[in-house]
């Protein structure tokens, strides 16, 4: 059970709640890989409401809903009444009136899912809000690490790149620290948030120092849409200093898992050969994302 009707972030979850979701994800992964849908949500409706672009998250929520037997609605924000000025709360109330049970929302404004959750009867799942959190991404990342290593406790995990603007980094950070990982971050000074070292992680500006002995190296997308200009001189200079390359992995942590939430900017955040290489679990992350979203929706709406 989760204490709340919504999943807004990992900052608010207890260790027991996170572990409960991860344990249920393992069961849901078996269902997913069988390709046989179950009927746990056959009397439920799931609506996706994405104000920002998405390939992985939106489609994996839709597939997860179908694997649980739910009906689905997709609000295409660009052609919806949002464009006539309808507010987020009124859109949410309309979806309540359409008898939706789960609203999956992505929004550029941090806090939008929380505002929606306070104003609707449906369970709200945060699929990424501004620079705040992306909880199901972090859950799928942590699930992938747990599958490979058996435990999160004591794992050395290094997050690389645009930490400041990354909701993926923030959610991973809360989840990994709670579960006992040793988390470090590395990036240009301008892409590291103020006060991050007070939150219990090591902070580096040299990638090779940061990834020595790491079990997991997670590249992050440069969030150019959330950055002011002038935070680093050029993409090529950024890549020179901070790209996760096969050479750096071979020199510093040859057995590390290489992860990335996607979409990947090949050759900038991470080398193309690393993306497709033996250490990479980027495609497994995507598959695990469906299982995590099945688990979360089954727990929130399926009455588990």
| String of contacts with ligand CP for each residue 152-191, x by CB under 6 A | ----------------------------------------
| String of contacts with ligand CP for each residue 33-72, x by CB under 6 A | ---------------------xxxx---------------
Sequence-distant (≥ 6) Cβ neighbours of residue 186 within 8 angstroms: 158, 159, 160, 161, 203, 204, 205, 206, 207, 209, 210, 211, 242
Asked whether position 81 contacts ligand CP by CB under 6 A, the answer is no
Asked whether position 261 contacts ligand CP by CB under 6 A, the answer is yes
* C-beta of 124 vs 252, nearer to ligand CP: 124
Q: Take residue 247 and report the two structure tokens written for it.
A: 């050479």
Sequence-distant (≥ 6) Cβ neighbours of residue 32 within 8 angstroms: 67, 287, 290, 291, 294
| String of contacts with ligand CP for each residue 221-260, x by CB under 6 A | ----------------------------------------
Q: At its nearest, how many Å lie between ligand CP and the CB of residue 232?
A: 22
Q: At its nearest, how many Å lie between ligand CP and the CB of residue 128?
A: 6
CA dihedral 177, 135, 90, 99 (to 10 degrees): -130
Asked whether position 262 contacts ligand CP by CB under 6 A, the answer is yes
Considering just the CA atoms, what is the radius of gyration of the chain in Å? Answer: 19
Instruction: Name which of 266, 268, 273 is nearest 236 in CA terms.
Output: 268
Q: How far apart are CA 257 and CA 19, in angstroms?
A: 21
Q: At its nearest, how many Å lie between ligand CP and the CB of residue 90?
A: 25
Q: How far apart are CA 27 and CA 140, in angstroms?
A: 14
Binding interface with ligand CP (CB under 6 A): 54-57, 128, 137, 261-263
């Amino acid at each position: 059970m989760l204490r709340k009707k919504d999943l807004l972030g990992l900052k608010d979850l207890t260790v027991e709640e996170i572990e409960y979701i991860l344990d249920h994800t393992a069961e849901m992964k078996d269902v997913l890989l069988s390709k046989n849908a179950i009927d746990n949500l056959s009397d439920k409706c799931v609506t996706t409401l994405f104000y920002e672009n998405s390939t992985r998250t939106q489609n994996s929520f839709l597939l997860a809903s179908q694997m649980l037997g739910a009906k689905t609605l997709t609000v295409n924000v660009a052609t919806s009444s949002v464009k006539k000025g309808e507010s987020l709360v009124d859109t949410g109330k309309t979806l309540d009136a359409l008898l939706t049970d789960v609203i999956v929302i992505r929004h550029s404004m941090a806090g939008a899912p929380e505002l929606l959750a306070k104003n609707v009867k449906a369970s709200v799942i945060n699929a990424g809000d501004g620079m705040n959190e992306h909880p199901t991404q972090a859950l799928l990342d942590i699930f992938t690490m747990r599958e490979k290593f058996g435990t999160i406790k004591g794992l050395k995990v290094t997050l690389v790149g645009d930490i400041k603007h990354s909701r993926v980094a923030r959610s991973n950070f809360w989840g990994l620290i709670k579960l006992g990982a040793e988390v470090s971050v590395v990036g240009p000074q301008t892409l590291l948030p103020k006060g991050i070292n007070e939150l219990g992680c090591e902070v580096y500006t040299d990638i090779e120092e940061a990834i020595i002995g790491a079990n997991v190296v997670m590249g992050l997308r440069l969030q150019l849409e959330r950055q002011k200009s002038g935070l680093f001189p050029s993409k090529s200079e950024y890549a020179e200093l901070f790209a996760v390359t096969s050479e750096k992995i071979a020199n510093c942590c040859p057995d590390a898992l290489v992860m990335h939430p996607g979409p990947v900017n090949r050759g900038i955040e991470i080398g193309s050969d690393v993306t497709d290489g033996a250490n990479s679990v980027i495609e497994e992350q995507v598959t695990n994302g469906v299982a995590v979203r099945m688990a979360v929706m089954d727990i929130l709406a399926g009455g588990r």
